[in-house]
Structure 1
Amino acid sequence: MNIEVTDLRKRFGRVTAVDGLTFTARAGAVTAFLGPNGAGKTTTMRILLGLVAPTSGTATIGGRAYRDLPRPTRTVGAVLDAAGFHPSHTARDHLRVYAAMGGHPDARVAELLDRAGLTTAADRPTRGYSTGMRRRLALATALLGDPAVLVLDEPGNGLDPDGVVWLRETLRDLAARGRTVLVSSHVLGEVDRLADEVAVIREGRLAAAGPATGDLEELYLSTGRETRR
């Protein structure tokens, strides 16, 4: 189930955040979505998830807009930030609430707590969680519906080295099972080890796209040099 972004534009008043953007994130691959701060990555992801209306163009999942998906959380899992937890809820409480809301089996809760390495902390209030633990819980929440597509905005922020390896292995495994994974990141060294394909955006426009081969840092920096010309 591919993600297709086609001639996408978004203006906020006089500011153009996304400007004619077109790229594909295909099933069975991890696609790294790269660009400097303010390039339009998060806006693009929010449009894809139906949180922001585009000015023009489309962003679809399996050929459908997010709002037209019959069971959204069974199709798409998303992490845009790791702050959306009730401070008094435990991780187990949080996952049970979201499982019930999405119509997912309660058995997924224990399974994902274990997968995220949170079993021993599952019954502690999330207000005491570190940033890395919150990131793990956010990804576990996104995986509740066993979705075909994952959309992740900086999921590695705050993870310790063990967490970075866990995230990489988790996403690589999901892609190997045919999932579509679109992930933004500023950590080029980790992206180089994670991604199959890359889309680089600068000033709201596509600067480069293709297989994540060769020197990814040089590819990224070269798009900046081209933009400044």
Structure 2
Amino acid sequence: MSESTKDQSGGLWENVKVLIQALLLAVIIRTLFFQPFSIPSGSMMSTLLVGDYLFVSKFSYGYSKYSMPFSPDLFSGRIWSDEPERGDVAVFRLPSNPKLDYIKRVVGLPGDRIQVRDGVLFINGNAVERELVGNYTPEGRYNRGTDVPIYRETLPNGVTYTTLDLNPNSPGDNTREFVVPAGHYFMMGDNRDNSQDSRFDVGFVPLENFIGRATIIFFSIAEDASPLEIWKWPTDLRFDRFFKSAQR
């Protein structure tokens, strides 16, 4: 074998090793630290919009089998567990179909009594502070031609965020009282009248199903555009949402 052939073979093997190392590093980062996530629906407007891309902190709540790629059944429960806090925006696996990722806000902790009355959230019999702060104009397919009232809610622990009220008489505006079981959480979307959450089929979410806490929006583009359509970036990128908190 000539020196030239040996050099080419060695160079190819070095490139393969670098690629393998890069892939392993990416898997480790995605599994243990941060996972990218895109917003598929308008259930968290106006906090999160369709076309937002954000990082989810995997270590915020510890690790379960759902933290791993393909969710291998290696162990049950969580390790190095830390509990979600009231007001966290979190990604979790849908209890009825663990193949699906959902993103909602934690409003009820284990043992809480949760109810919605006339659009007002009640926690353990006390109304959550709710103030009308203006109107919001949804974009794209969520724009019905009229502005939507936007409210600022403040939870008992001081976490504050905005919610939308599309319809003052929606099915989710008056609910029964839910008692959150031990080891479970009650999740709601900020777009209260357009969110499938714990008031409906989602139900209570076990701690094991949590993937992580939403942290920061790193990219955002109008909902009818793909990030790969670079030619649309000058008009469709939402620069004002880059590096914005995904929590409020």
TM-score by length of 2: 0.23
Q: Which of the two has greater helix per residue?
A: 1
Q: Name the larger-Rg structure.
A: 2
TM-score by length of 1: 0.25
